[in-house]
Amino acid sequence: MDRRLIVEHIPRLRRYARALVGDRYVADDLVQDTLERAWNKFYLWRPGSDLRAWLFTIMHNVFVNQARRRRYEIEQAMDELPAVAVRATQGEQLELQDVDRVLRSLPTEQREVVLLVAVEQLTYEQVSRALDIPIGTVMSRLSRARERMRQLLGGQAVTPLKVVK
């Protein structure tokens, strides 16, 4: 097996991890755990299949297991909080800091989907496989995440939209 295959994906794994957990060191620890696991399970990867999606799957599993252990209760609790707009005024340019804050306020499962779609630019199909959830769930999480971000970033509150499909 060729180390370079995995090594060339490290920058993108770092980008996703950073966006997912926020803290640089915690993120790099997540990448390290992911790489170690990937090497241990490399025999399970089918040559020719999408290595990047496979690595995201591993990172997702490592992350979920860690999160379960640490019990990110705060994050879950945030989901219950009423949406508070970050900015009262519209029309102003959004600050990146606000975007980051709003991203952190999303439930983990929604944050994962929105980051894989928006930042990593995976297709919905790839996200579905990476997170091992049906595509309908990908779409509903994406929809909820985006709508919540829109509200928190100063948009108008709208009634939740039903996903057709």
* Residue choice 12, 51, 67, 109 for contact with another protein (CB under 8 A): 12
Gap between the Cα atoms of 49 and 158, Å rounded: 40
* Residue choice 5, 7, 104, 137 for contact with another protein (CB under 8 A): 7
Candidates 44-52, 54-62, 73-81, 141-149 — which segment interacts with another protein by CB under 8 A?
Answer: 141-149
* Residue choice 55, 58, 131, 142 for contact with another protein (CB under 8 A): 142
117 is a contact residue toward another protein (CB under 8 A)? yes
28 is a contact residue toward another protein (CB under 8 A)? yes
96 is a contact residue toward another protein (CB under 8 A)? yes
Short-list 58, 56, 60, 42, CA closest to 121: 56
Q: At what angle do helices 51-70 and 108-118 cross, to 10 degrees?
A: 160
The contacts of residue 51 (CB under 8 Å, 6+ apart) are 5, 6, 9, 45
Alpha helices in the chain (DSSP H): 3-7, 10-21, 24-40, 51-70, 73-80, 96-105, 108-118, 124-131, 135-152
Q: What's the token pair of residue 56?
A: 């995201």
How many amino acids of this chain bind another protein (CB under 8 A)?
48
Q: What's the token pair of residue 61?
A: 């599993």
Which residues here bind another protein, judged by CB under 8 A? 1, 3, 7, 10-12, 14-15, 18-19, 25, 28-29, 31-32, 35-36, 39-40, 42, 94, 96, 99-100, 103, 114-115, 117-119, 121, 123-124, 139, 142-143, 146-147, 149-150, 153, 155, 158, 161-165
